């Protein structure tokens, strides 16, 4: 990528200046390459000379002048200049920029992919208790995790997407009891409503079950009936969750059962591991993990009644990920209400003999749904909470994904249903996708007029709007790298809007199909085809479609 090349050129130039005696000897720090806020200053800039002043004992401007004098000439740089108080600005070559259109066309669907790492990484997301339909909040979790997984794959990582199914414990037991009550009610039994899980979905599930099996579970041992209800509810909710996930373009490589950690002996193995290393203690009839705060009840592994806690499962799950399945990096996407567990899971990773940096936890904030600025809190259909499915049915999967990706995970966000359906530039989803559809219309017009891009000479692309569009297209690789570095997939939405804006400006300023000038027509058709590829690849990274018509 260009920033890396430019950084290396600066390092080589500093070393040459030191060898020539123009700069004193010192260890060269990491060189930051930035994009200037004012494009008139150039395409890239570095403040390296400012940071070297204390080592070189001279003014930053003087240091910068000595550095640029020693920068090796390369084809992609037109000029390098110094700006006070010592910034080094780099301007790309016009001829080189134009030639990048051919590169984008040659790379096609792979344009924007980079080779950062081939490490094995797991991204675990959604993982909501399987006790109800996918909520909008969990939908944000899904979009963050899924988009990040897409970008990591584009950066060369070996990615596995996983949903961790919490099928152990009180929550699913209570769901089984609630389904039994709804099943009995569907058969006319005077059973009171359940204290928990009163949603419509279990009412419907109870009615379907009653129609399928009749009253047979009213006449069996209660424990057997509840065990069946628990399994039936769990299977039904998971099937529904898979449908909801597919509706927003999310598919997992694995749905991992928490229960499997106990069935396959992983939990026992981890418990013995901790015991042998004197990392657990017994107190008040329970078993605790030793920690800095021995009174923190969240550190209980086994309750006094012998049941393992969620924390016990978390420990076994970390062990499974890193020690058994051998992931080099495990990324969790959790709601912000789990912030207290982050330090705990990191500590456990260290206790298990692994590098805590192998674990990364992204915390996301809540989503507020509004319509015309007014909060929407209840489903019109059921009077219950609003599900992700209902929102998708109203605004579409693409708008759902894009809108839930427009803020960093640590920011609370508002999903405006009215804005998400507007067919105007005010709607960022429409604005970006319309760019792709407009390009498709250009090619339809070209076909009607017999114009093609065959033989197009990209050297003819010299208009400022043409070059600005190319500059924006080349940012895709850097955006992919930035998303990986920061684990911030929201950056894709900003990039997509910048790219669409550059294309719309080009379309305003430059006529593409020009019958009186077939040479410029062919060159510009190559440019817009490269833009179409870049827009489509960006949309694909966000899990969205690239429409041909709108």
Write out pLDDT tens, residues 408-419.
999 999 999 999
What pLDDT sits at residue 180? 95
518-541 and 464-486 are packed helices; what angle lies between their axes, rounded to 10 degrees? 20
Instruction: Tell whether the model's pLDDT for residue 421 goes beyond 90.
Output: yes
Could you tell me which residues come within 8 angstroms of residue 256 by beta carbon, excluding any fewer than 6 positions away? 124, 162, 163, 164, 165, 317
Instruction: For the beta carbon of residue 382, count every other beta carbon within 10 angstroms.
Output: 15
511 forms beta bridges with none
Could you tell me which residues come within 8 angstroms of residue 314 by beta carbon, excluding any fewer than 6 positions away? 341, 344, 345, 348
pLDDT, one tens digit per residue, over 31-82 is: 999 998 888 889 999 999 999 998 889 999 999 999 999 999 999 999 999 9
Rounded Cα gap, residues 128 and 135, in angstroms? 9
Encoded tokens for 169: 């414990």
Which three-class secondary structure state does DSSP give residue 254? Answer: strand
334 forms beta bridges with 363
Rounded Cα gap, residues 489 and 153, in angstroms? 13
Instruction: Tell whether the model's pLDDT for residue 530 goes beyond 90.
Output: yes
What pLDDT sits at residue 197? 78
283 forms beta bridges with 286
Instruction: Tell whether the model's pLDDT for residue 273 goes beyond 80.
Output: yes
Percent of the chain with pLDDT over 90: 84
CA distances from 281 to 287, 294, 295 (A): 6, 10, 12
Instruction: Tell whether the model's pLDDT for residue 107 goes beyond 90.
Output: yes
Instruction: Tell whether the model's pLDDT for residue 294 goes beyond 80.
Output: no
Identify the CA nearest to 402 among candidates 415, 387, 388.
415
pLDDT, one tens digit per residue, over 124-139 is: 999 988 888 899 999 9
| CA-based max dimension of the chain | 95
Could you tell me which residues come within 8 angstroms of residue 298 by beta carbon, excluding any fewer than 6 positions away? 311, 340, 341, 344
Instruction: Tell whether the model's pLDDT for residue 383 goes beyond 60.
Output: no
Mean pLDDT of 244-263: 96
Report whether 20 contacts 50 (CB < 8 A): no
Instruction: For the beta carbon of residue 50, count every other beta carbon within 10 angstroms.
Output: 16
Rounded Cα gap, residues 179 and 184, in angstroms? 8
Average pLDDT over the chain, rounded to whole? 94
Rounded Cα gap, residues 529 and 377, in angstroms? 44
Encoded tokens for 174: 């209570």
Domains defined along the chain, listed by start: 2-92 (3.30.1360.70), 97-116+424-541 (1.10.730.10), 170-247 (no CATH)
Instruction: Tell whether the model's pLDDT for residue 420 goes beyond 90.
Output: yes
Report whether 86 contacts 64 (CB < 8 A): yes
What pLDDT sits at residue 198? 77
363 forms beta bridges with 334
**DSSP class of residue 188?**
T
Confidence of residue 378 (pLDDT cuts 50, 70, 90): low
pLDDT, one tens digit per residue, over 317-329 is: 999 999 999 999 9
Rounded Cα gap, residues 155 and 477, in angstroms? 9
Which is it for strands 286-289 and 300-302: parallel, antiparallel or unpaired? antiparallel
**Cα angle value 522/524/528 (rounded, 5°):** 120
pLDDT, one tens digit per residue, over 178-213 is: 999 999 999 999 888 888 877 788 999 999 999 999
44 forms beta bridges with 90
Rounded Cα gap, residues 127 and 314, in angstroms? 13
Rounded Cα gap, residues 294 and 292, in angstroms? 6
* Residue-level length of the chain: 550
Rounded Cα gap, residues 289 and 312, in angstroms? 9
Rounded Cα gap, residues 441 and 70, in angstroms? 48
Which is it for strands 374-375 and 367-371: parallel, antiparallel or unpaired? antiparallel
- Alpha helices, H only, 218-309: 222-247, 260-263, 266-276
Q: What's the predicted TM-score (pTM) here?
A: 0.93
Confidence of residue 16 (pLDDT cuts 50, 70, 90): very high
Rounded Cα gap, residues 251 and 163, in angstroms? 9
What pLDDT sits at residue 182? 95
Rounded Cα gap, residues 402 and 420, in angstroms? 9
What pLDDT sits at residue 37? 84
Instruction: For the beta carbon of residue 459, count every other beta carbon within 10 angstroms.
Output: 11
310-319 and 339-351 are packed helices; what angle lies between their axes, rounded to 10 degrees? 50
Mean pLDDT of 214-221: 94
Identify the CA nearest to 158 among candidates 330, 368, 374.
330
């Amino acid at each position: 990528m260009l920033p890396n090349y430019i950084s290396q050129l600066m390092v080589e130039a500093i070393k040459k200046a030191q060898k020539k005696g123009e700069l004193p000897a010192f260890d060269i720090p990491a060189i930051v390459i930035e994009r200037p806020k004012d494009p008139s200053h150039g395409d890239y800039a570095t403040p390296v000379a400012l940071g070297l002043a204390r080592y070189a004992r001279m003014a930053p401007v003087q240091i910068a002048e000595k550095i640029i004098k020693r920068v090796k000439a390369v084809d992609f740089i037109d000029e390098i200049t110094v700006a006070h108080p010592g910034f080094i600005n780099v301007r790309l070559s016009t001829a080189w920029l134009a030639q990048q259109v051919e590169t984008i066309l040659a790379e096609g669907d792979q344009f924007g992919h980079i080779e950062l790492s081939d490490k094995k990484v797991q991204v675990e997301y959604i993982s909501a208790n399987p006790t109800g339909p996918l909520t909008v909040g969990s939908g944000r979790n899904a979009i963050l995790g899924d988009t990040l997984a897409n970008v990591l794959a584009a950066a060369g990582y070996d990615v596995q997407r996983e949903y961790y199914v919490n099928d152990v414990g009180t929550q699913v037991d209570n769901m089984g009891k609630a389904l039994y009550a709804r099943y009995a009610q569907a058969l006319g039994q005077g059973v009171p409503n359940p204290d928990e899980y009163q949603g419509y979905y279990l009412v419907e599930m109870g009615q379907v079950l009653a129609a399928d099996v009749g009253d047979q579970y009213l006449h069996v041992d209660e424990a057997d009936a509840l065990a069946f209800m628990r399994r039936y509810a769990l299977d039904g909710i998971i099937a529904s969750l898979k449908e909801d996930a597919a509706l927003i373009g999310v598919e997992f490589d694995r749905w991992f059962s928490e229960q499997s950690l106990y069935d396959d002996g992983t939990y026992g193995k981890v418990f013995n591991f901790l015991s042998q290393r004197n990392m657990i203690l017994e107190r008040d009839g329970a078993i605790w993990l030793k920690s800095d705060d021995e009174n923190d009840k969240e550190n209980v592994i086994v309750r006094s009644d012998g049941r393992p806690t969620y924390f016990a499962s978390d420990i076994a799950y970390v062990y499974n990920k890193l020690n058994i399945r051998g992931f080099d990096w495990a990324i969790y996407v959790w709601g912000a209400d789990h912030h207290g567990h982050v330090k705990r899971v990191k500590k456990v990773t260290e206790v298990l003999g692994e590098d805590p940096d192998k674990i990364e936890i992204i915390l996301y904030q809540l989503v507020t749904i509004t319509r015309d600025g007014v909060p929407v809190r209840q489903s019109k259909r059921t009077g219950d909470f609003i599900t992700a499915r209902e929102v998708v049915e109203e605004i579409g999967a693409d708008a759902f994904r894009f809108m839930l990706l427009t803020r960093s995970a640590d920011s609370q966000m508002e999903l405006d249903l009215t804005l998400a359906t507007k067919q105007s530039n005010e709607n960022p989803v429409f604005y970006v996708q319309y760019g792709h559809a407009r390009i498709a219309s250009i090619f339809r017009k070209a076909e009607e007029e017999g114009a093609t891009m065959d033989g197009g000479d990209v050297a003819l692309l010299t208009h400022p709007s043409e070059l600005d569009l190319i500059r924006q297209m080349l940012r895709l690789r850097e955006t992919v790298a930035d998303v990986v570095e920061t684990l911030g997939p929201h950056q894709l939405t900003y990039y997509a809007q910048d790219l669409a804006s550059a294309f719309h400006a080009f379309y305003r300023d430059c006529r593409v199909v020009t019958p009186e000038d077939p040479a410029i027509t062919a060159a510009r058709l190559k440019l817009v085809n490269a833009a179409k590829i870049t827009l489509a690849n960006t949309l694909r990274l966000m899990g969205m479609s690239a429409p041909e018509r709108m």
